Structure 1
Amino acid sequence: MRNRKPLAIAAATAAVGLAGLATMALAAPATASVPAESVGAAAPAAPAVADFTGYQLIKLPNANVPNFQRRTVRCPAGKKAVGGGAEAQGNQAVLVGSFPTDDGTGWIGLGRQPGYGDVGISVFVICANVS
């Protein structure tokens, strides 16, 4: 005949675990509390819709520049950078940075190529009218 002791221990452990979960469920509040000052208050106003027209992609084609030299591409006057990127090209080329300009009107890319004095860098910026 098989030993039924492990099965009985497992069933008892499961029953204790379920009882513990039931106790936790009873102790937890059924609803979250709402601060008194927010009851009856008006909902916050929705943000204004931004003007996002005049989408334009501008590319600065690949060129070899000294390692770590920044290449910058700018948006036309009146437009802002809403995205961008860069690519490092060459043997073991590494893209070191790809980020917007401080004034938000362009994109910067820089890289390095171990064992060489220069690296190929191309940069692009996505521009739009933003208000």
Structure 2
Amino acid sequence: MSRGKLTVLAAALVGCAGLATVTVATPATASAPMAPAGAADFTGYQLVKLPNANVPNFARRTLRCPAGKQVVSGGAEAQGNGAILVGSFPTDDGTGWIGIGRQIGYNDVGISVFAICANVT
């Protein structure tokens, strides 16, 4: 993972409730964010991707974390001429991420979804 991607990832994780510090390291030694006493503990960090696929405008593409993990952040991308990302948000149960888009002048749009998943205790 490039340093630029790690910086973006660190910025995304800082927005998580209860996190005070984010430790960014090389992928071989990457560690979970540090949390203050009494806050959630994150282990088993994993970036999960749902590659681009064309779906009807406004259709939801849902990405699920591996069993036992919760989503701690995520995002989506709309691809195509005139593509617009309409929604990017976690699932109600906190185990995945949803991406929704539309493409002006077309009946479908390319949507990719990304989630940062971890064991949360």
Alignment partner, residue 115 of structure 2? 125
SS for the counterpart of 1:48 is: coil
Q: Does 1:98 find its partner at 2:88?
A: yes
Unpaired stretches in structure 1, ≥5 consecutive residues: 1-45
Code of the residue aligned with 1:94 in structure 2: it is I
Q: What is the CA–CA distance in structure 2 between the aligned matches of 1:83 and 1:49, rounded to whole Å?
A: 17
Larger Rg: 1
Higher helix share: 1
Identity of aligned residues (%): 80
Q: Which residue of 1 aligns with 2:78?
A: 88
CA distance in 2, matches of 1:61, 1:50: 30
Letter in structure 2 aligned against 1:65 = V
Q: In structure 1, how many angstroms separate the alpha carbons of the residues matched to 2:53 and 2:109?
A: 8
Give 1:72's match in structure 2, choosing from 62, 74, 85.
62
1:47 CA drift (Å): 4.9
Give the root-mean-square deviation of aligned CA atoms. Answer: 1.1
- Please say if 1:56 is aligned against 2:46: yes
Amino acid at match of 1:103: D
SS in 2 for 1:54: strand
Q: What stretches of structure 2 of length at least 5 have no aligned partner? A: 1-35
Normalized against structure 2, the TM-score is what? 0.69
Mapped to 1, the partners of 2:91 and 2:58 lie a distance apart of: 16
Match among 100, 103, 106 for residue 116 of structure 1: 106
Per-residue CA deviations over 1:84-122 (Å, capped at 9, x if unaligned) read 000000001000000000000000001000110000000
Partner of 1:30: none
